[in-house]
Structure 1
């Protein structure tokens, strides 16, 4: 029964792991411009779909919110704004770290993120982990320590990127009754409004090449809207900590592509660390299966 939720998460993170296929052709453009146009196009598409094809769901969501007790409604609105701020912060910090600190620090942040997501889910949502699952988290943390030996100075910046996304992901569990498409639309609208002032201050000249807009459209639809909706759907059936661990599929696929497709230099330490992460994913999900089987007895 839960297989569809696992599948949604696996597809989402696998797609993000292949992000390099659409980012590499745009490497001549400033990173902030890619971010701005990605978000603005995503918002435009989602608003158009809502207004043209999902008016019923908009009305149902409006009625749902109006029928909630005032305190709960206010809490949901505040959480929507806060999660949008976390999403904006994540994307902004990622661009800043990539442009001004190092690409390695930006990539490393998404190795720390699953661990922080699991810890945040434990503290905020009271999601309980089995000893086997905690063991897998320990293995993941050990792999991250291995990879951080030569990049200790960048660790703080990586934590900023990872922490903001971990909080965003965990908060989504609070929106179980809200239409996921409407929720994501609202979050992206707020994110776009937050980023708008930065667009007018740091964006470059308006891109003229059609290639730029073709790839931005692919990124907006295939690498933003669809995987984020899949993430929200997955959270309906699996825990935030499980989703967090599955997030490792993203950097693992990126690592494999770097090694075998882009022919980048890979160290023995990296091979060991990523192998440990792969083992941790398997152990964590064995723990999830055993926990679920015990609960169904």
Structure 2
């Protein structure tokens, strides 16, 4: 494994730790899910803008029509990923929502094969199948609680598809353009999409109290800039498949934080399902890092 790929794996590890706090921060905000998503992306763009201006929009003139199409699709999919995922957190537990929303290999394997011709090994297929079984165990446990919890699970799975599509479209552009350009444009398009959504459905953009504003800003700093931005940087050297599987480690951190910060209890089905999913991840990573 070359030096750049090693650095990419280190960035991936830091990114996963950063995004683990996302669900708990969302639970601590008081704004509606679409408004929370908008401020997360809006603050991210504001924080990225000085770097974008210092780089003088480096590479933006080299953007092709295909690049603009892909970057726009990535931004739109990211926006709806956040809307659906934040809505799911209103209906189900942090543990179930985060585990299901990070079940990305399900969609990533098919997407990278269809769009980029990346082959999927038998080991990868088996590891994904194991992870799927884990998600079904979690969903079955939530079905026993209430139909609303199951609805939250379904929203989380749809959000999972959306974030995988965001990574797939972003992968193609990221390999040809700088991280600053790629990230600023994707976050900007995502913020604009979320603003339009809030205006169309008449959501108030009032961020609320100062404490709430702090959580919204922290959502931009940690999960986005130290999470998704590092994933985007790593896309130049490692596949969407690898990133989507690594992100499955996120639930461990989120579940622990939810237990201590939100006093959310961990159900037996959630613990068993999470353990099964992590087993699938380890099998995949063992094959990918050879």
Output the TM-score relative to the length of structure 2: 0.84
2:90 matched to 1:87?
Answer: no
Q: Which residue of 1 aligns with 2:134?
A: 143
Q: Which residue of 2 aligns with 1:115?
A: 106
Query: How big is the shift at 1:98?
Result: 3.5
Which secondary structure does the structure 1 equivalent of 2:103 belong to?
helix
Structure 1 pair 61–271 and aligned structure 2 pair: CA distance change class (3 A): same
Consecutive unaligned residues in structure 1, runs of 5 or more = 66-72, 291-297
Which secondary structure does the structure 2 equivalent of 1:178 belong to?
coil
1:106–1:161 CA contact under 8 A, matched in 2: no
Structure 1 pair 279–156 and aligned structure 2 pair: CA distance change class (3 A): closer
Q: Which residue of 2 aligns with 1:50?
A: 52
Structure 1 pair 208–193 and aligned structure 2 pair: CA distance change class (3 A): closer
Distance 1:276 1:197 in 2: 40
Structure 1 pair 106–289 and aligned structure 2 pair: CA distance change class (3 A): closer
Which secondary structure does the structure 1 equivalent of 2:59 belong to?
helix
Q: Which residue of 2 aligns with 1:68?
A: none
Query: How big is the shift at 1:15?
Result: 0.9
Q: Which residue of 1 aligns with 2:37?
A: 35
**Within 5 Å, which residues of 2 pair with 1:120-139?**
120-139=111-130
Distance 1:261 1:156 in 2: 25
Consecutive unaligned residues in structure 2, runs of 5 or more = 144-149
Distance 1:106 1:263 in 2: 16
2:69 matched to 1:78?
Answer: yes
RMSD: 2.5
- Total equivalences in the alignment: 277
Output the TM-score relative to the length of structure 1: 0.83
Q: Which residue of 2 aligns with 1:234?
A: 234
Distance 1:25 1:164 in 2: 24
